Structure 1
Amino acid sequence: MVVRVLDAVLDLLVPPRCAGCGGRGALVCARCAADLTAAPHLHLPETAPEGLPECWAAAGYDGVARRVLIAYKERGRTALGAALGACLARVVARLPLEPGPLVLVPVPSTRRSRRAKGHDPVRRIAEVAARRLRAGGAQVTVAPVLRPARKVADQSGLTSAQRAANLAGAFTSGAVPKGRIVLVDDVVTTGATLAEAARALRAAGAETAVAVTVAATRKRVPVMRHARRSQIRRHHSG
């Protein structure tokens, strides 16, 4: 907690270091910002859970995106919400959706996480994204209608099936404003969290049009497949 507070204070008092590369002069330098604002890509988990909406991400969860997100969420550098919100806004602006009002629904943090961080990271960047989209003329609202319904175990190290079971019934939803529902999260891994969020929204009478995230984990290449590819490359190079 002390480290997070010190990082936030230093961002205000001294020339900041880029959260992506460590260079002086900006919270996120132009080169790293370019990585966060590249053309979004459709993320398809290898084993998509039932009910997962189409999911678009700005970057892979590695390199710049991973470092910026960790600094924002775990090290108290809340000012990075502006860059991450801008990143989300660019993804939403490029979605293949018909014109009309959009409703951004952020995936909620747990109560314990909100107390530890002092804010809800995903809701914050969703609100930044909505402001930027409205400035460009879009009809966008943020509806933080999802709520944790029960405690869940730490997702680290769980398989896709285990994550889905861990999150089953984890969210409940209040009434949702009219418009195309865009689920918002920071990172998508297996898609279990977004699938559960979409289920909760359907239970409340709202259908999710699409989901957007800042980053998506890269698909892992199975060991045997990786070995086979390496063998083929060696064969051709020989």
Structure 2
Amino acid sequence: MLDMVLPLQCGGCRTPGTRWCPSCAGELTVKPDQPHVITPRLDPGVPVLSLGRYSGARRQAIVAVKERGRADLIAPLAHALCQGIDRLLRWGILGAPLSVIPAPTRRAAARRRGGDPVTRMARCATAARPGLVVVPALRLRAFTRDSVGLSSSDRQRNISGRIRMVAPVTGPAVLVDDVVTTGATASESVLVLQAGGVDIVAVVALAHA
């Protein structure tokens, strides 16, 4: 009856009757050589690592969470993030103890989405990992525009001076985000964290555009 009223669809490919199909789960699985180092147009000065391109099932799932309220897709995205962080820990790029800092989001957008999805993904991804703690240390100032549709230079101007540090961070830290596009948010976030005395060692993203 519920499926008749609210048809169930895969968040990646819209296959009916399932929330997340095996094919899309396979597309999101972190491959042995991932995450990859990427070079965004704006260099934050620390390694930026991505789990994959912002396309296919990965893109559809991120958009569904952010724009269509598909909170049920937090879990598969968080699982991919967990795999990526585990891989970086094994490679020695990251080490525990480690503070995991979600990239900041606009408060209006977070309220509309029922909470900040990046923070929720980070908490889910690190829940069973000793030595990893999520610290929502960054906040966007009021009246920051949505970056969708902005050029690289406009994104940089939009975010410059708009991020502030609102919580202390101890030990090494990694910044996590859903999508790195131009690198404007990552660069400003790293700058603010470093100014606050944080040892930020890398940026990890679910996807890069």
Q: After superposition, give the CA deviation of every residue in 1:123-153 in whole Å (9 maximum; x if it has no partner).
A: 1111111114x1xxx4110000111134223
The yes-or-no answer on 1:128 pairing with 2:124 is yes
What is the CA distance between 1:67 and its match in structure 2? 0.6
Equivalent residue letter for 2:173: I
- In 2, the alpha carbon distance for the partners of 1:111 and 1:191 equals 20
For 2:15, the equivalent position in structure 1 comes to: 23
The yes-or-no answer on 1:143 pairing with 2:135 is yes
Equivalent residue letter for 1:161: S
The yes-or-no answer on 1:37 pairing with 2:29 is yes
More moved, 88-97 vs 74-83: 88-97
For 1:119, the equivalent position in structure 2 comes to: 115
- In 1, the alpha carbon distance for the partners of 2:156 and 2:195 equals 17
| Helix, strand or coil at the partner of 2:100 | strand
For 1:82, the equivalent position in structure 2 comes to: 75
Change (3 A) 1:152 1:21: same
Indicate if the aligned counterparts of 1:53 and 1:194 stay in contact, CA closer than 8 A.
no
The yes-or-no answer on 1:180 pairing with 2:180 is no
Structure 1 residues without counterparts, runs of 5 or longer: 1-9, 218-238
| RMSD value, Cα | 2.1
- In 2, the alpha carbon distance for the partners of 1:98 and 1:18 equals 33
Residue in structure 1 matching 2:54, options 61, 79, 89: 61
What is the CA distance between 1:52 and its match in structure 2? 4.2
- In 2, the alpha carbon distance for the partners of 1:150 and 1:75 equals 23
Structure 2 residues without counterparts, runs of 5 or longer: none
Indicate if the aligned counterparts of 2:171 and 2:198 stay in contact, CA closer than 8 A.
no
Indicate if the aligned counterparts of 1:72 and 1:81 stay in contact, CA closer than 8 A.
yes
For 1:236, the equivalent position in structure 2 comes to: none
Q: Structure 1 runs of 4+ off > 6 angstroms?
A: none
What is the CA distance between 1:85 and its match in structure 2? 0.7
For 1:229, the equivalent position in structure 2 comes to: none
The yes-or-no answer on 1:48 pairing with 2:42 is yes
The yes-or-no answer on 1:214 pairing with 2:188 is no
| Number of aligned positions between the proteins | 201
Q: After superposition, give the CA deviation of every residue in 1:92-123 in whole Å (9 maximum; x if it has no partner).
A: 11114253211110012212112222211111
Indicate if the aligned counterparts of 1:52 and 1:194 stay in contact, CA closer than 8 A.
no
- With structure 1 as the length reference, what TM-score do the two structures score? 0.77
Indicate if the aligned counterparts of 2:98 and 2:173 stay in contact, CA closer than 8 A.
yes
More moved, 22-31 vs 65-74: 22-31
Higher share of residues assigned helix? 1
- In 2, the alpha carbon distance for the partners of 1:68 and 1:116 equals 17
